[in-house]
Chain A
Amino acid sequence: MTVLPWTIYTSFLGVVALMLLPSNSAKAAKVIALGTSITGLVLALGAVLEYKIGSGIVTACKLPWIPALGIDYYLGADGISLTLVLLTGIAAVVGILFSWNVEHRTKEFFAFYLALIGGVYGVFLSFDLFLLFVFYELAIIPKYFLIAIWGSTHREYGAMKLALYSFVGSAMVLIGLIAAYVVAGAQTFNLIELAKYPFPESFQKWAFPLVFVGFAVLAGLWPLHTWAPTGHVAAPTAASMLLAGVVMKLGAYGALRVAMTLFPLGLAAWREAIAVLAVIGIVYGAMVALVQKDFKFVIGYSSVSHMGFVLLGLMTLTSIGLSGAVLQMFSHGIIAGLLFGVVGRMVYDRTHTRELSELQTMNLNTAMPFAAVTFVVAGLASMGLPGFSGFVAELQVLIGAWRAFPALAMLAGLGILVGVAYTIRTIQKSFFAGQSGQMTKSEITIEPISVPERVGAAILMAVTLFVGLYPAPLLNLIKSGFDSQLMSNLLKGVAS
């Protein structure tokens, strides 16, 4: 496990290497970025394979950092972190493959990109709250610049909105964390130690929603999701892949790892209210996606809908619902990456429009058969067809929800139905609207899909298929995450 922190370090070393590069060497910047991210993925894979299921939270590195305040530099991993670290590794590599055509300020683009990746790895691996928070906020700034400099529609607005939503969310988290630290006697920020402290119920009742919602802003919790569609649409392809694929998971992960473990009594008090919000998010996101005119907005709102499943799964507090939620994080990370890759890179970069009504006239399925196939696969996976990872994850969440809140589970099922509708509508409008064989008015020559794109899409499709057909290894890894003392309290809380 000692290799695991190197996922963080290599990312930041990559940033330094890129900064030292002369500004005109775009090719070298891409190679460095790709090399760095592949190293990260290899390290993550190695750690997943090395991890023995059942060994709980494995410490990778624990050093006193600021002893006066009881802050440690404490990195570790359990099944949940490893799943998400693996996701980050995959998303990072594929994102770079999909941004191989970035020629504007290439070196800076990849520097911000790798800084974001490094921060994300750090959040998933931190078991000291202070450290976790440091990495969490560290990820905000690169997002802003990635969108503001390289984005498209309303990029400065989208970037600022995202940055402020994230920062206000993390401010709420910070208030809760400082208060928890002081209430617990100002001794330690070690998550495992702090979770043992019996916080008074009256305190938990306000601290839990504060911290949970603060994190869940980033997970697209309705009604604080509005940054997500605008942010996704404004972002360049790789950034929206990361936003939907990884950054939204940061929020859900923080909510699970910090808010829910620290404040079990607060969780019990607010559980139903948050489950209701999650289901509203599922249904609302799907409904709004159904009427969008912009291709990317469809995917943006579908992300809100799918993240609703994660939050719903967390609130079930059943073993199956929780592991379903974490699997849904992984699965949505892969599928959303694929969808945004098709929309942003394959379609928008070539046709320069995302209006479904314009795409309708372009007969894209004959112009870009590979993109069409990829998008159909991604769409099927996204609507939860058996055989893809989305099915396994959402089914588990629904089963868990059925046990905890039957009425909400039915509503969430409705959300899946609407999901089928908007996915099919989008597939039809974007790729299959033109009559085959008939030439359309826009006979623009479309450059063929490049090799990096094909490789990236193939990786993502392979992963979602593999997890869909053979979910056992990943599920076991996730389930083992809930066996440690820290996380198993979640299940006990309901039983008692």
Chain B
Amino acid sequence: MELLILAVPETLVVATAFIVLLVDMMEMRRKPVRARMLVAAVISCVGCLVSIYWLSQTGVPTTPPDGMLIVNPVTQMVKQLILLLTIFTALISIESNFTDHVGEYFLLLLLATVGMMFLVSSENVLMIFVALELLSLSLYIMTAFNKQNIKSAEAALKYFLFGGMSAAVMLFGLSLIYGLSGEIVLPRIADKLKGQPLDPLLMVAMVMVVTGFGFKIAAVPFHLWTPDAYQGAPTPSAAFIASGSKVASFFILAKVMMVGFAGVEGSGVWRNFSEGWVPVLAIMAVLSMVLGNLAAIAQRSVRRLLAYSAIAHAGYMLLGVISLGILKEAASGPDVAASMTAVKQNGMASLLYYVATYALTTIGAFGVVSVVQERSGEERFPAFAGLSRRAPVLSFCMMIFMLSLAGIPPLAGFFGKFYLFATALSSAKSLGLLWLIVFAILMSAVSLYYYLQVLKQIYVAPPPAGVSTLQFNLLSRVAILLLALAVLVLGCAPNLVLSRILAAVKTASL
């Protein structure tokens, strides 16, 4: 019974999913697609808002022994963020026109959301796997949803094949861990593994788990599906994969690594590596940053560009996870435990801040792409030429999103990067992770080039002759404006959110 009460927010979303489906099936079948989209989106938003409200009212830390459903202020906060992203995805869906199966689409969107919410709340590896599969399966179908477009099918097939493989690998890894420890709850796994000599089998298992998550977060070398999925999927699906799925996956990756693999951190200090999950993630981070940023330079499709930029950003975010693997030697000051906790709290807070702002920015960018693509049928660079003359407000929003992704102050992306890098640097003794930070900062300097390429099309290139101003739906317009405003405000006054995140992280006693 207690478990049911804890699961009310998720239940609300499931209920909303079925209401959307029912309403669409029974009342709206005959209506034009646009109206059905509107109604479905509004119902979904209302359901999500109710769930957000419920989440904001609860949050007393509870940790059931089986770790099925953990509730604490941090999980509540991440779930609220995920619901918020779902709302924005629903709002930008109104713009696009890719399917007749409106009810089913929103059903899947909301089920994916439920998957993410359970994922965030769980410390039980079985539950984690089940939630991850619920999420993944919904996303595969959402990717394939545009039946008229062969690209959509191709994207979904790639996404599905890679996803299926990596899920299998991860499950294998998890089973090895169960074999080693006899436990399926993260903290207890860590307890059992603690004190034993490093088992090669454990390393294999760890790498397998990382592989599974590496696919979800689109880190190199598990990124190959990303450009095709981002390009081929219907825009809202791509936006959701890029934002919500990333938030949930990063959060659970951080938790699994920090809690489940406590004691096998290893060291990522330059010329002083030792085996553990930190060096593995460090290598993935560097590869993602380098490959993502360099490959993005060559792109002429804005969506593929966003995909490679997502890979690069996954690299930056991995730095946040790495800072959770702080070792005892790195702690400064008289009170070792307190200073380690402080770094871990900062690491978690910086990761959450970054993922949150990144997700909002990306969803906004996809919103703009969706509007442009809907009007011109194209999302390559020429479609954006002279956009600032046709839709000044939309262009300004895109400028904010692109510059925030590039990390230009005073936008949210800048503070996010800054906080992430500063925390990661403080998590190893005598600037041991400086090499990672140098990579990250120089690569983000590279990234300015390709973000400016997009803005160059929008602001500098002349608009094609005979194209009038761009009109689009009011709700999408409001959603994109709100997102741009959020990116700006979060960048100028990070403390608005940061103080809350830090408070939540402290209460959750990570």
Contact = CB atoms under 8 A, between A and B. Distances in A.
Interface stretch (B75-83, B258-266, B443-451): B443-451
Contacts of B392: 23
Contacts of B426: 182, 186
Given A66-B495, A138-B408, A149-B460, A167 B445 contact: yes
Interface string B391-422: 01000100000010000111000110011011
A67 B437 contact: no
A199 B459 CA distance: 45
Contact of A178 (B403, B422, B442, B456): B422
B489 interface: no
Nearest to A169: B445
Give the dominant DSSP class at B's interface.
helix
B461 to A, nearest CB: 10
B84 to A, nearest CB: 22
Contacts of B410: 134, 138
B499 A171 contact: no
A171 B445 contact: yes
For chain A, the bracket of interface size reads: 35 or more
Contact of B459 (A140, A145, A171, A186): A145
A66 B415 CA distance: 10
Given A141-B403, A164-B449, A186 B495 contact: no
B337 interface: no
Contacts of B396: 19
Contact of B460 (A133, A135, A156, A181): A156
Given A134-B414, A178-B437, A66 B408 contact: no
Nearest to B422: A178
A449 to B, nearest CB: 30
Contacts of A135: 409
B452 interface: yes
Interface residues of B, number: 38
Contact of B498 (A23, A66, A175, A186): A66
Contacts of A19: 396
B470 to A, nearest CB: 15
Give the dominant DSSP class at A's interface.
helix
A185 interface: yes
B434 interface: yes
A291 interface: no
B199 to A, nearest CB: 34
Interface string B215-239: 0000000000000000000000000
Given A66-B498, A69-B419, A164-B449, A171 B437 contact: no
Contacts of B409: 133-135, 137-138
A4 B421 CA distance: 32
Interface string A98-137: 0000000000100000000000000000000010011101
B495 A67 contact: yes
Interface string A446-475: 000000000000000000000000000000
Given A67-B495, A68-B502, A182-B431, A137 B452 contact: no
Contacts of A417: none
B134 to A, nearest CB: 35
6 A-B pairs with the lowest CB-CB distances in the bound complex, closest first:
A134-B409, A171-B445, A182-B426, A171-B441, A148-B460, A182-B425
Interface of B: 332, 346, 349, 388, 392, 396, 403, 408-410, 414-415, 418-419, 421-422, 425-426, 431, 434, 437-438, 441-442, 444-445, 448-449, 452, 455-456, 459-460, 494-495, 498-499, 502
Given A182-B422, A186-B426, 16 more contacts: A23-B392, A66-B494, A68-B495, A68-B502, A135-B409, A138-B410, A148-B456, A149-B460, A156-B460, A164-B449, A168-B442, A170-B445, A178-B425, A179-B431, A179-B437, A183-B431
10 contacts: A67-B495, A134-B410, A134-B414, A156-B456, A163-B448, A167-B448, A171-B444, A178-B418, A182-B426, A186-B426
Interface of A: 19, 23, 65-69, 108, 130, 133-135, 137-138, 140-141, 144-145, 148-149, 156, 160, 163-164, 167-168, 170-171, 174-175, 178-179, 181-183, 185-186
